[in-house]
Each structure stands twice: as structure tokens, then as C-alpha cells.
């Protein structure tokens, strides 16, 4: 596993929208999502996040629907529900697919996603412009969610995270900038090795890893793959129809002082 730190692919404009997405996701997790108790967290997710069973049946979750989808009842912050009761009858189950892109399950989940978005999002934002980038990001996230729902249509587990949309950004980056140099961390036993790798190695390796990830570990593997493929397809179109922005000044080589290598 490699962890990207930065790329040597300079931009000429500040990635305002990428920064806004990062700040928004951090704010929502830190100040909006409840974490005082598991019960409150479960209730919040069922109220706001996408649930595959809800989307495939086009109605909010209830114990009747949960029984139909997975043969088990749900528990919310209101306790065990009657079979006939919808805990959140006014929930828009389709809008929840978009809302889920800004919710996360833990600090590690959030910060990992934001790191990947920070490394790869600025170049795609500059290539598309803020408006086009916003549309691309949202559609990539929806495409990723639909890929997950298609593989687990009866799941009653809420889906959260920006990783599907970010996978779309990564797919587009791979196609448009395959040879861009990515400074990465490679864990070697108890040591960390800093090394530059081409984008096709870092991102291609990430994609291959998804096929060997067990979806039962709570990772929405299909969403990652679906978002990545969507982004790559859009990247192919962009590479052939839009000019690349002018290159910025070359970055200074990093001086890590503890064995970092460049090539």
C-alpha cells in the first residue's frame, strides 16, 4: 500500500472548490454528525444517509421494508420500531445519495479521503473549471453510489463517504496525467520510505487493490471501482477535447532529510 503526499503537477489557480469540499466535509463530521453515542449516530445516518434498500424501493426505511430486504428489523435512536412505522417518513431517499458524499464514519476515514482529494483534485478542478468540476464531482459520487447499490440492492446499512466521488477524480487524473510524479509513502516494516512514483503506478495500483478488498470489511468496493471507471471515461473525453492548462513554475525538490529518494 502506498500513501500519496503530493504531486509534481503544478496548477496556475487556487483550487477553491477542492478546498471548499475539504473544509465542508471536516466541518460536517466535526460539528454536525453526532458521535456522543452509537444510538445517536445510527439515528443520524438513517435520517440523512443513503441506504441501498431505500433507493431500490424508492421509500424511506421501516421495519417492514427492512424485513423485506434483509429479513431483519432496524433499530434507530427511537428504539425498536413497530413494523408499520417509518422513522423518517419525510426523507428524500434520492437526495440522501448526494448527502452521503459529505458524511464519514471516522476521523481516519475522513482524513484519508481528504488527503487523496487534496493531492489529485486541484488538477482536475483546473482542467474543468469550478462549475464543471462541481458537476463532475457530484455525478461521479452518484455513479459510485449506484454501483454500490447495484451490487447490494437489499442492504439496509447506510452508505457514507466521499471516496466514490474522489475515486472519480482519481480515474480522471490517471487518464489525463498518467506520468505525473506522485510523492508517496511506502511502509517497509517499521520504516517509512518516501519515493516518487508515476501516477499510473500509484492510481493503477490503488484500483487493482480494490479487486482484492473484502467488501464484508465495511468498504464499499463497488463504489470505488464504479467511481474510478466513471472518472476514467470522462478523463478520456477531456484529454481528447480540452487543452491542458499552461504549466506553472517547476516545484523545488523536497529535502526530507531522512532518506527520501527522487527519480
Residues 89-103 have pLDDT tens digits of 899 999 999 999 999
pLDDT bracket for residue 174 (50, 70, 90): very high
- Mean pLDDT (the chain) is 87
Question: Residue 1: which residues within 8 A CB-CB, separation 6 or more?
Answer: 187, 209
Least confident piece of the model among 125-134, 200-209, 233-242: 233-242
Residue 1, pLDDT above cutoff 70: yes
Region of poorest pLDDT, from 12-21, 187-196, 236-245: 236-245
Q: Which of 47, 40, 77, 42 is nearest to 61 (CA)?
A: 47
d(CA 207, CA 211): 7
Positive or negative: CA dihedral 239, 11, 134, 32: positive
Q: Given this model, what pLDDT does residue 35 score?
A: 83
Question: Residue 186, Cβ neighbours under 10 Å: how many?
Answer: 13
Task: Name the grid cell of 125.
Answer: 478542478
CA 56 to mean position of chain CA atoms: 21
**Pairs from 41-44 (Cβ < 8 Å, separation ≥ 24):** 42/75, 42/76, 42/77, 43/76, 43/77, 43/78, 43/87, 44/77
Whole-number pLDDT of residue 64: 84
Taking CB atoms within 8 Å and a gap of at least 24, the contacts of 211-215 are 215/151, 215/152
In CATH, 3-241 is 1.20.1540.10: yes
Sign of CA dihedral 60, 26, 23, 148: negative
Closest CA to 159 of 145, 143, 147: 145
Alpha-helix runs per DSSP H in the chain:
16-27, 38-48, 52-57, 63-70, 95-99, 107-151, 163-176, 199-210, 221-241
**Cα gap 10→233, rounded to integer Å:** 23
DSSP tag of 6 = E
Question: What is each CA distance from 185 to 106, 181, 202, 259, in whole angstroms?
Answer: 22, 13, 11, 12
Assess contact for 100 and 159: CB atoms under 8 A: yes
Q: Which three cell numbers stand for residue 114?
A: 481528504
* 189: pLDDT strictly greater than 80: no
**Whether pLDDT at 51 is above 70:** yes
* Boundaries of every domain in the chain: 3-241
* Interior/surface letters 90-122, b for 16+ CB within 10 angstroms, e for the rest: ebebeebbebbbbbbbeeebbebbbbbbbbbbb
pLDDT in tens, 131-159: 999 999 999 999 999 999 999 999 999 99
Closest CA to 155 of 68, 51, 80: 51
**pLDDT beyond 70 at 247:** no
Residue with cell string 500519496: 4
Q: What is the pLDDT of residue 192?
A: 84
Amino acid at each position: 500500500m502506498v500513501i500519496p503526499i503530493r504531486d509534481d503537477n503544478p496548477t496556475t489557480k487556487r483550487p477553491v472548490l477542492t478546498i471548499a469540499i475539504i473544509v465542508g466535509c471536516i466541518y460536517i463530521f466535526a460539528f454536525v454528525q453526532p458521535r456522543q453515542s452509537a444510538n445517536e449516530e445510527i439515528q443520524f445516518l438513517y435520517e440523512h444517509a443513503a441506504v441501498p434498500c431505500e433507493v431500490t424501493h424508492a421509500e424511506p426505511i421501516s421495519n417492514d421494508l427492512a424485513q423485506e430486504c434483509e429479513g431483519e428489523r432496524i433499530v434507530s435512536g427511537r428504539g425498536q420500531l413497530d413494523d408499520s412505522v417509518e422513522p423518517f417518513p419525510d426523507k428524500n431517499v434520492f437526495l440522501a445519495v448526494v448527502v452521503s458524499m459529505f458524511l464519514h464514519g471516522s476521523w481516519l476515514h475522513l482524513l484519508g479521503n481528504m488527503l487523496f482529494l487534496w493531492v489529485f483534485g486541484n488538477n482536475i478542478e483546473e482542467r474543468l473549471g469550478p462549475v464543471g468540476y462541481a458537476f463532475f464531482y457530484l455525478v461521479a459520487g452518484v455513479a459510485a453510489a449506484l454501483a454500490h447499490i447495484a451490487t447490494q440492492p437489499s442492504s439496509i446499512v447506510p452508505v457514507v463517504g466521499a471516496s466514490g466521488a474522489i475515486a472519480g477524480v482519481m480515474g480522471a487524473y490517471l487518464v489525463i496525467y498518467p506520468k505525473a510524479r506522485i510523492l508517496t509513502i511506502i511502509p517497509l516494516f517499521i520504516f517509512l520510505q518516501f519515493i516518487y512514483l508515476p501516477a499510473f503506478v500509484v492510481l493503477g495500483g490503488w484500483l487493482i487493490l480494490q479487486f482484492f478488498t473484502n467488501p464484508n470489511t465495511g468498504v464499499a468496493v463497488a463504489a470505488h471501482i464504479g467511481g474510478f471507471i466513471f472518472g476514467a471515461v470522462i478523463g478520456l473525453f477531456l484529454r481528447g477535447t480540452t487543452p491542458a492548462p499552461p504549466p506553472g513554475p517547476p516545484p523545488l525538490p523536497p529535502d526530507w532529510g531522512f532518506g527520501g529518494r527522487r527519480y
